[in-house]
């Protein structure tokens, strides 16, 4: 059993990049970490990659010119005086304790397509709350040709649980744009959660008022209460 990892493997498979972005999983992750702990060059590249990723994380926040910033700071101070921590509370409403449950659907026929098998494996990871494995599994199912509202919904839910809020927001929006089936009401609710995390209370409210998902109404009431303060 020889599984020496070479620097060609590291380069060709983008292992450092995926490690930094936490997209390296399972056996591949274990093999890379075994290589990493005795490779100072890879350790240096991981630190460099982390520094690069941090720059892009920071740059997603908008930049302001100083005079505009001063004016905004005054206005924000006044608003905060009138509505202490309202934004923070709004964002906190976007927290998700338990992930949406997957109800078992009986599959007819003896043979599962490859995409179905990958989807079910990803769902197992999802149930174990192994979010990275689940995300990769859903992506593989999609690559294998599976198209199903359930796939898009649980890929969005997984992104939400991983803290990939913008990805989750896009996934639910895409699902709602094309599907009006059994996942639509729940997708509106969880997209609202994503909108809340992004600080968009009004967007969240609009989604929730259009959803018949049982938890939507009380959450909408909480948002309205915050908005009216």
Partner 1 sequence: MTSPLAPGPAPDRDEPLDPERLESLRPGLELLALRALGDRELAREATQEAIARAVAAGARGTRIAAGRLAAFVAGIARHVVADLRRSRARTPTVDLDTLPLPSSGPDPLEQLVDRSQADEVRRALDRLPSADRELLRLCFYEGLTPGEIAAHLNEPAERIRKRKSRALERLRAAFGDTPGHAAPGGPTEGAEEG
The nearest distance, CB 130 to partner 1, in angstroms, is 13
Tokens describing residue 111: 């043979």
Binder among 28, 87, 89, 120 for partner 1 (CB under 8 A):
89
Distance separating alpha carbons of residues 133 and 125, to the nearest angstrom = 6
By CB under 8 A, what part of segment 52-81 binds partner 1?
52-57
Residue 14 contacts partner 1 per CB under 8 A: yes
Write the binding mask 118 to 157 for partner 1: x where contact by CB under 8 A, - elsewhere.
----------------------------------------
In the complex with partner 1, which residue's Cβ is closer, 188 or 197? Answer: 197
Cβ neighbour number for residue 190 with a 10 Å cutoff = 29
Binder among 73, 75, 92, 217 for partner 1 (CB under 8 A):
92
Rg of the chain, C-alpha, whole Å: 21
Binder among 34, 75, 79, 80 for partner 1 (CB under 8 A):
34
In angstroms, how far is the first alpha carbon of the chain from the final one?
66
Residue 163 contacts partner 1 per CB under 8 A: yes
Q: How many residues touch partner 1 (CB under 8 A)? A: 56
Listed in order, strand segments (DSSP E) in 82-186 are none
168-174 long-range contacts, Cβ below 8 Å, gap at least 24? Answer: 168/194, 169/194, 169/195, 169/198
Tokens describing residue 191: 């997209």
DSSP state letter for 148? -
Binder among 90, 94, 183, 189 for partner 1 (CB under 8 A):
94
The nearest distance, CB 21 to partner 1, in angstroms, is 2
Binder among 47, 114, 127, 229 for partner 1 (CB under 8 A):
47
* CA distance readout (Å), 98 to 102, 106, 182, 204: 12, 24, 20, 19
Residue 30 contacts partner 1 per CB under 8 A: yes
Residue among 163, 158, 175 nearest 123 (CA): 158
**Which residues are at the interface with partner 1 (CB under 8 A)?**
2, 4-8, 10-14, 17-18, 20-23, 30-31, 33-57, 85, 88-89, 91-92, 94-95, 162-165, 197
């Amino acid at each position: 059993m020889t599984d020496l990892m070479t620097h060609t493997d590291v380069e060709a498979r983008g292992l450092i990049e995926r490690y930094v972005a936490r997209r390296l999983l399972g056996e591949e992750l274990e093999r890379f970490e075994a290589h990493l702990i005795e490779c100072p060059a890879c350790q240096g590249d991981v630190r460099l990659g982390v520094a690069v990723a941090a720059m892009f994380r920071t740059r997603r926040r908008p930049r302001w010119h100083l005079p505009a910033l001063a004016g905004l700071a005054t206005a924000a101070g006044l608003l905060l005086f009138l509505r202490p921590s309202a934004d923070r509370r709004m964002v906190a409403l976007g927290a998700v304790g338990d992930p949406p449950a997957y109800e078992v659907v009986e599959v007819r026929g003896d043979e599962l397509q490859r995409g179905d098998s990958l989807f079910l494996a990803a769902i197992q990871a999802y149930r174990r709350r192994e979010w990275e494995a689940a995300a990769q599994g859903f992506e593989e199912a999609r690559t294998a040709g599976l198209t199903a509202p359930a796939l898009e919904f649980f890929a969005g839910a997984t992104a939400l649980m991983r803290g990939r809020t913008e990805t989750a927001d896009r996934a639910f929006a895409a699902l709602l744009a094309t599907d009006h089936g059994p996942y639509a009401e729940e997708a509106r609710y969880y997209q609202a959660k994503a909108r809340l995390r992004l600080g968009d209370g009004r967007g969240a409210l609009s989604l929730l008022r259009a959803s018949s998902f049982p938890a939507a109404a009380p959450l909408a009431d909480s948002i309205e209460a915050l908005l009216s303060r």
